[in-house]
Chains A and B, each alone.
Chain A
Amino acid sequence: MNQDARHAQFMERIERGEKIEATDWMPDEYRKLLLKLIHMHGVSEIMGAFPEKEWVPKAPTLKRKLAIMAKVQDEMGHGQLLLRVAEDLAAPLGKGREELLDDLLAGRVKFHNVFHMESPTWADAGVIGWLVDGAAIINQAALLDTSYAPYARVLKRICAEESFHMQHGENIILTLARGTKGQRQMLQEAVDRWWESLLFFFGPVEVTPAAQRMIDYRIRIKTNEELRQQFLNKYVPRIRSLGLTIPDPHLRYDEKQKKWLYTQPDWEKFGEIVRYNRGPKSEERIGLRRFAHEEQRWVREAMVRAHKMQAV
């Protein structure tokens, strides 16, 4: 069978709603688009552990300490699941776990804008769980119907855990919102800090050529803007019901257009942050990952040696 016929057959499978498995034939373009998406998703989970990790040693009660430890552990676990999926896709390209993580340190793979940002107070730890994970759930739930079966399977578990995270964050937030004046102020400042990043998180309004190809392959189904609108629908009323304000004087629901109108985030600024790792915390957090990946390489190498010695 020639390439064109193979490709046509593959597209028929996609259009019938069939799921693709790792061992199935797939066009290079499909593989590369998937790999780019899942690689970025995986390293974002791992980088996403760091903003909250800063608060693990400082969580203010024992219950919170246990909860945030478990939460950050989940993020690492999601990273592991996603990297396993990415490893299978990357294997024919001669890449494995080490290389996928090398790419992060070398700036060859991006991670979500939100994880480049500062989380200077305990309220930020709450807002990350509540709103950042809330946004992530919307993104990830929309991918549950993806045409790539291994991705869909890990997303199912990830979404279930993320909804716990959202509740964990919400619980921190509710306690602060009902707390002292100082706590409420801390919370408002955190919401102010995260709002613009959250809007950017869903990506540009226009459908880029790469995004269109992903939609063609049914890797993803919804557009960025649809997802952003879903987020606003769900969270604007919740944020306001706590007596918090959203730092956008132009934010309103337009009944005629049946959608939220909002001030555009600074696309250029965040675009640079993500592309060149130029956010306020990018370098520091990549430094932490470098510590884990490069400075601990001796451990992984020792384990390989020990395994070989055992096999002899």
Chain B
Amino acid sequence: MTMEQAAQMGLESGYRQALTALLYQLADDELCLGHRDSEWLGLAPDIEGDVAFSSIAQDEVGHAVFYLERLHELGEKDPDSLAFFRGAEAWRNAVLLEQPNGDWARTILRHFLYDLFDDVRTEALLHSSYEPLAQGVAKIRREEHYHLLHLKPWLIRLARAGGDAQERMEQAVMEVWAQLGGLFSLGAEEEEMIHHGLIAWGREELYRRWEDRAKPVFAEAGLKWPGPPSVPEQDGRRGRHTDHLTELIRTMSEVAVGDPAARW
């Protein structure tokens, strides 16, 4: 679908703007995290875990591609241009996801909490007024289901193992919590997204439903619930990021920018 086609579809500009903003949030969350996940390739604590984690990384990047393709249909640039040639200020991922992985405890914790959030968010998209999004999300949820099945026991076992594993997990909770709140932001277009029926719930409901599911897992893991996370200084959903995103984009696009006109 070209921009003209999008216009022909009768997408009025307010609708299109809110939809585009939402798709960027989805795409950039998945791409950032998938990229970070792939940094563990060859380095995970055991070889079986390495292989499993790589499948998760590939799923996340694959989901990002799906959202980027939908953006392209709406008249945005092609997926590769959006992934490799977009300045950090144009990215809409939550700041939490652009942070370096840290140790395995933090990697597992962040991923689990994000996937739980993504599960709630995609649930809110199942009846989206934008049919291509609703359909894609139904398929994506089937894959994400397995991520949660994989990550939840990892989190619980590490936290319950005592010793340095438990200490590292408690430390990870403190670190992740500092930026966790940014996940739930829907940015400047939140009202428009809901108004147009693109997403069923806003940030407060997303958070409430997420907390309902995260708290019992913390209890099972023997981790103290730290309370609602504060909103981080930078809201990635409004294009405000840490230097880690700039570094991530620089790394990711190193080859591509070598000759932007070339086919790779």
Q: Which residues of A contact B (CB under 8 A)?
A: 46, 49-50, 53, 55-62, 64-66, 69-70, 72-73, 76-77, 79-80, 83, 122, 175, 178-180, 182-183, 288-289, 291-292, 296-303, 305-307, 309
CA distance A183 to B263 in the complex (A): 9
Q: Are A306 and B42 in contact (CB under 8 A)?
A: no
Q: Return the contact of B47 from the options A53, A80, A303 (Cβ within 8 A).
A: A80
Contact sample, A vs B, 12 pairs, CB 8 Å cutoff: A58-B252, A60-B253, A62-B65, A64-B264, A76-B42, A79-B47, A80-B47, A183-B262, A298-B163, A300-B45, A302-B163, A303-B157
Q: Are A50 and B42 in contact (CB under 8 A)?
A: yes
Q: Are B251 and A69 in contact (CB under 8 A)?
A: no
Least Cβ–Cβ distance between A11 and chain B, in angstroms: 35
Q: Identify the closest chain A residue to B43 (Cβ).
A: A292
CA distance A53 to B61 in the complex (A): 16
CA distance A307 to B50 in the complex (A): 19
B84 beta carbon closer than 8 Å to chain A: yes
Q: Which of B135-179 contact A (CB under 8 A)?
A: 157-158, 160-165, 168
Question: Chain B's interface: helix, strand, loop or mixed, by majority?
Answer: helix
Q: Identify the closest chain A residue to B31 (Cβ).
A: A62
Contacts of A183 in B (CB 8 A): 259, 262
CA distance A190 to B133 in the complex (A): 43
Q: Are A83 and B38 in contact (CB under 8 A)?
A: no
Contacts of A122 in B (CB 8 A): 255, 264
Besides A62-B64, A66-B58, 6 new A-B residue pairs in contact (Cβ under 8 A), listed by A number: A66-B62, A69-B41, A76-B42, A179-B263, A296-B45, A297-B45
Q: Are B157 and A306 in contact (CB under 8 A)?
A: yes
Contacts of B262 in A (CB 8 A): 179-180, 182-183
Contacts of B41 in A (CB 8 A): 49, 53, 56, 69, 72-73, 76
Q: Which residues of B contact A (CB under 8 A)?
A: 35, 38-39, 41-48, 50-51, 54-55, 57-58, 61-62, 64-65, 68, 79-80, 83-84, 104, 157-158, 160-165, 168, 251-256, 258-259, 261-264
Q: Are A288 and B42 in contact (CB under 8 A)?
A: yes
A-B interface contact total, Cβ < 8 Å: 136
Q: Are B65 and A46 in contact (CB under 8 A)?
A: no
Least Cβ–Cβ distance between B44 and chain A, in angstroms: 6
Q: Are A300 and B83 in contact (CB under 8 A)?
A: no
Least Cβ–Cβ distance between A160 and chain B, in angstroms: 17
Q: Return the contact of B160 from the options A49, A301, A309 (Cβ within 8 A).
A: A309
Q: Return the contact of B55 from the options A58, A73, A178, A307 (Cβ within 8 A).
A: A73
Q: Are A57 and B54 in contact (CB under 8 A)?
A: no
Q: Are B42 and A46 in contact (CB under 8 A)?
A: yes
Contacts of B58 in A (CB 8 A): 66, 69-70, 73
Least Cβ–Cβ distance between A99 and chain B, in angstroms: 14
CA distance A65 to B264 in the complex (A): 11
Contacts of B161 in A (CB 8 A): 302-303, 305-306, 309
Q: Return the contact of B259 from the options A182, A299, A301, A302 (Cβ within 8 A).
A: A182
| The 6 nearest A-B residue pairs measured at CB | A302-B165, A296-B45, A302-B161, A299-B45, A306-B157, A60-B264
Q: Are B61 and A76 in contact (CB under 8 A)?
A: no
Least Cβ–Cβ distance between A182 and chain B, in angstroms: 6
Q: Return the contact of A72 from the options B54, B64, B162, B258 (Cβ within 8 A).
A: B54
CA distance A72 to B263 in the complex (A): 23
CB contact under 8 A between A58 and B263, given known A65-B61, A69-B38 = no
Q: Are A180 and B160 in contact (CB under 8 A)?
A: no
CB contact under 8 A between A69 and B51, given known A57-B35, A62-B79, A306-B161 = no
Least Cβ–Cβ distance between A88 and chain B, in angstroms: 16
Q: Are B42 and A72 in contact (CB under 8 A)?
A: yes
Contacts of B51 in A (CB 8 A): 73, 76-77, 80
